[in-house]
Each structure stands twice: as C-alpha cells, then as structure tokens.
Chains A and B, each alone.
Chain A
Amino acid sequence: MAGFMKNIQMAWLGWKNYTDDGKMAALLLVSLAYLWYCGKRMRGRSFWVYSMCVTIGCICPITAALFMRIQTKFYDYEWIWSMVPVTAVIALGMTLFLARCWGDFGLSQWRKGLPAAMFLLAVTVLAGGMGGELPNQIYQVQEREKAYGVLEELIALSQGGDVCLWAPREVMEYAREADGHIRLPYGRNMWDASLNAYAYDTYGEDILALYEWMEQMSDPAAMETALKSLETCVRNARNMGVDCIMLPESVASETIQRMEKASNLHVRCLEGYWVFYG
C-alpha cells in the first residue's frame, strides 16, 4: 500500500514535470475536445475513444500509478504516455480544423484558410518548448569531438585500441563507443545510474575509489586531496589491469613525474591530455 501511495505521489509530480516545459499535453486535450465536438461525422471514433480513455488514465494519479506499477520500475512516469498517440491525435484535430476553415485547401479560399493555418502554426510553435533539452545536448557535441580526437590518437598509438584505459569522465564516456577493443575499469553507468538496470554487475569499493580519485584530479579545487593518495590509487589501478592512464593537461609537472614513477609507464601529451602508456 505504501508503495502504491508513493506511485500516486510520483504520478502527480510526473504529470507536473510532463507539462512543465512544453504544452503538448494541453494541445492534446484541446484536440480531443475538438474531435469530440466534431462528433459522429468523424471516421475513426474508436481511435478517439481509445485516446480519450488512456489520456484520462495517464492524467488521473490513481490510474497513472496503476499503469506505473504494471509498466515495471525500469521506466519512469513519463513513459506511460507511450500509450497515448499524442502526435496522431493533435495532427488529426488540426487537420479537421484546417479542413473546416480552408474547405478544399484551394488558393481561392486562402483568405479564410491562411489565417487558420498561421494560427495553428503559432499554437504549435508555442506549445512545443522548441528544444527544451537541447542546450545540454549541444554542449555534449563539443565534448564528444574533443574526446574522439584523443581516443583516435590513442587507438593509433596502441595499434588497434587493445588497452585498459583509466581517464577523466569526459574521455571514458566515449571510449567504448569509439572502439569496442578499449577496456575500462568502470563505464558510463558509474555516472548514468539508469544504465545499471541493464546488468546485475555492480562496482566494488576499490573501483569507486578510482572513480572518485579521477573526479578529484579533474577538479582544481579538489586536486590537492587526490595527490595525497596518488601512489596507492595508481597501484590499485595497475593491479586491476589498467595499462593506460590519462590526466588533464592542467596538472603540475611534479604530479606527472610522480605518476610516471608510480605507474611505470611512459608519458606523452595527446590532444590536451597527459597519456601514460607503454
């Protein structure tokens, strides 16, 4: 019962989140209402009835919680909206509205049709957030390009990419997609928790320590703390099979010397990173 109540709470918060950025849900409701107004003349009434029922089901917290319970914990609230044909219902409503205003869509009736079309265009543009999640994605483009640059150099250096790499997060993120031969002590699922649902494997304390150490090394404010345990962490990493270590170019030359000595690897500079390999 407590779990179900939590689901209801999550469904309510999920609905608020779903309607936060864009207003497609509002457009869907308007469209459903218009299709109801079109009534019996409309073909595909069963489509409207289905859409109406599942929309109400997804909005009402109790039924939404029930859907969430059935759809498995693998997916969040917003995924129950997959059942609702949002795009198709809005498109149908808009087409019928436009057909009513514009008649046969001919040039002769443009005086009536064009304002209606412009109105719908404006409504669509305003209802869509026009790229709410985009800024974050655009930042990732530059990050990916930089990571691919250094990884390609590394693959060439290792003659095929058969290395076990330990590097800052922004490089590790793209290492496995750049080349399947590159192995890592920990992967993207360390910081993207949703990926942990794909496997029963979990990381041990020693691997978590490696991740935290590298995060500290990438942060100038926390670098001092990380330097205290440099030798221990590098020894652990080498014991785990790591044979290539990367550090940001900003680290001090003293740190590079300590790292070279502790890892027993040769250092070189590649695309803005110190690479200890071979």
Chain B
Amino acid sequence: MGKPTGFLEFERLSEAYEPVEVRVKHYKEFVSHLSDDAAKVQGARCMDCGIPFCNTGCPVNNVIPDWNDLVYRGNWKQALDVLHSTNNFPDFTGRICPAPCEAACTLGINDQPVGIKSIEHFIIDKAWESGWVVPQPPKQKTGKKVAVVGSGPAGLAAAQQLARVGHAVTVFEKNDRLGGLLGYGIPDFKLEKSVIDRRVAQMEAEGVTFRTKVVVGGKDLPQGIINDAIEFVSAEQLNKEFDAVILAAGSEVPRDLPIPGRELKGVYAALEFLIPQNKQVAGQQPNPINAKGKHVVVIGGGDTGSDCVGTSNRHGAASVVQFELMPMPPEQENKDLTWPYWPYKLRTSSSHEEGCSRDFAVATKEFIGDGQGNVKALKAVRVEWKDGKMAEVPGSEFELPADLVFLAMGFTNPVGSLLEAFGVEKDGRGNAKATTDGAGCYATSAAKVFAAGDVRRGQSLVVWAIREGRQCAREVDAFLMGTSNLPR
C-alpha cells in the first residue's frame, strides 16, 4: 500500500518539459516521463485510500492505488498488468488525458495530488521500452465477425477487446491514417503518432483488420470534415457481412459561428488546420494553412483551441489570441465544494505557456475582410453572465487584427448520414441513442448495431471513449456469444 507516510515526506514531482524556446521549434513530444527512482517516490505518495476517489474519478476506473503501490515497490511489470486490466491504451491517456483522477485524488484536498498521470505515463513507456507490451491473440476464434466504424480511441478499444476473445474484427477508417482524433486532431507534440502505430501493429497481430480510406454509411460529409475515402461501404453491406457492427465514428461536426464574414478566407474550423498539420508532420503533403507571421485568433477556450495555439506558435505566428465566451474561471477552485469532481477553474495548458494571450467573456460579432475575401480583423464585444444568461456589455465593442481565425468551439454531433444509413435512432442532441447500463446497453435501435464513444455520448475525452469502447465490446461479445467474460 505505498508508503504510509510517503505523502508527508515527498513532494509532487511533475514530468519534465522541454523549455518553451526549444520545444516550439519542433513537433515532437516534449514531455519526458519520470525516472525509475522518481516514479517510485511518486508512487509512494499514494495513500491507498479506503475509498480511492481516483478509482471512480477515472472514467476507465483505473485501479490507481494498486499500480501506484506496485510502482513504489518496483514491480513495473505487474503494474502494467493492473493498468492494462482497465485501460487498453494507457499510452494515450498517459499523454493527453486531463486526468480527472488527479482532481479526485484525496491528497489533492489539501496538498498536491499524486501525479497519477505521470505514473501511468511512466508505466506504459517503461513497458514498451522493456518489450512487455505484446500481442495477446485469442486462444481460439469464435467465427464471429464484427465491424467497427471509426478508428478513434473508442473503436480501437472495442476492436482490441473483441479480437482478444476471438472475434474477427475489421476496423473501417475513412481517412488514410488510423487513430481518429488521436491520429489527426491531436498534434504530434502532444502525442507522437508512433504511439498509435505501435498499438495498431499490436492489434493487427491480435487479428484486427484495418481498412483505411473507406467511408461507411454516407458518402456526403458536411463541410469542414476531412475525408480521404476512396472507397465506400454501405450500411447494408456491412450488416450483411458482419455479425455485429459498432459505430465509433466520433462526433465530428464542428460547432460553427454563423456571423457576418464567416465565409472569409482565413476563417477555418480547427481541424481544417490541425489535421493537415499532422499529415505534414507525418511526411505527407504540407499544411495549406500557414500561420507564420500572422495574427492568429483562436475562438474557443478548450483543448482543441489549445492545439491551434500550440501549432500556430510552432508555425511562427506573429501573435496568438484565444477567445473564450465564458468569464475567466477562478484560478483556484473552492475544493470544499468541488472535490472530488472536475473543478471549474482556470487551466493553463503547455500550449498557452508557449505564448498566447487569453481573453475571457468575449463574443465575436463579425469577421472583417480585407476586401479581397480574406479576413483581416474581427469585431468582438465583452459579455456579462448572470444566472446562466449572457448579456453584451454596452459600448464594449472592439476590433482585433486577425489574419487567421480558428473556430474551436467544440463539436456538435456525429455525421448524421452515418446514423441515418444504419437507421439508428438519435437522441435529442443528434447522437446515436443507446444506454450505458443494464440490459441492452450500447445497442442502438438498429438490430446488431452498437454505438460507443463520442458518436453516442457526444464530444468528450479520449478516456471516456476508451471506456465506452471496452464496455461496448463486452455487450457485443455477450450479444454474439450469450455471455461474456470481458470486463466492463
């Protein structure tokens, strides 16, 4: 159980970041995981709580105290087993998860929480380095075939789980690279693509078939969605060929900002900037959008916005401003009333540290063109929030030069045509309708069609996608075999 008094003896140690001036010069990961000794010390800080709030704070319910203890004792391999027992891809979450577990850590009530994410990162990197992550092909095949639409974290998790119990799984991906948002949306400096590639290789060895550049269901995708597909597979075809289908296509339709000037050149949905960037980093064609020397405004204060900030800075933008509609959150939450939940507070990402000014409680009113169809500035206004209602502050309009504007205001729902093609009932928000608990969970209204991840729950975290993928896999396995031994 860790070291009983470890939390009193040891300070939290964060992972080392490359200095800003160095890291903005490249697109590689700049976070180095803990050393063996540091990891042990960090593991020793865990208090092995009677109720480990981290365990429920974590969407995949990582058994954090157990692997903290194992790390403290230097049982890395066993720590990996425990970690993998709840999470297929700790290498993803160890890098890009916002770590709700740490928000729930009891040590965080009055001290710095245990560096859970850094320990997770350590365990999995150590495991890869040591060659402990190996394919786990099934002992025998079931003869059942499952199609997974979408290769994001939900799809990958579902596919891996199902393949390991012997089903023949095929993953369909419309783009040319696997990983969904992981592969394309998230910049390499946060998650190098080799991390995904090695997982893909593991899964292939476990029997998963990947088919890229294949779009399933509907061919006509809304604007702003990147689509490399050269092949189309209809819902009927999939239904015919497979015993079960999992829709894990994410929630890709970006929230738009339909204000005057939206049509101007230089105003882009965030992914229109980020995906080509990742392709460029991968050695494919260069990003058509270049922020070098430009005044960049990012609208939207979330993670995608951050990624735009980080990428713009790497391009060498002249300035980067990020707008957020909501007022500035408090720097420090009132833990008495928030812990162990995810607190509403000001979060400064590594990209912010690289240079960015943030403006809160500001609404963009209009994009102003240069007369040649290019954006050159935007008009915005300050807003006030009262009882959940927003009101513009009279006389607070201002203009800001903007050569590039990235809209990163979140994603509204999955591509509707996919759901329609399968005849899947939608919920009020346009997501695939399915429950997550009890009989028939993860099943959609369409026979043998299941849904998991953002396509079902709407835009969310990678870790939630993994959870849903795993849980959905269990339901699919039970649907195919009558019972399932897969964990929820």
Partners in one complex: no
On A, residues with C-beta under 8 Å from B are: none
On B, residues with C-beta under 8 Å from A are: none
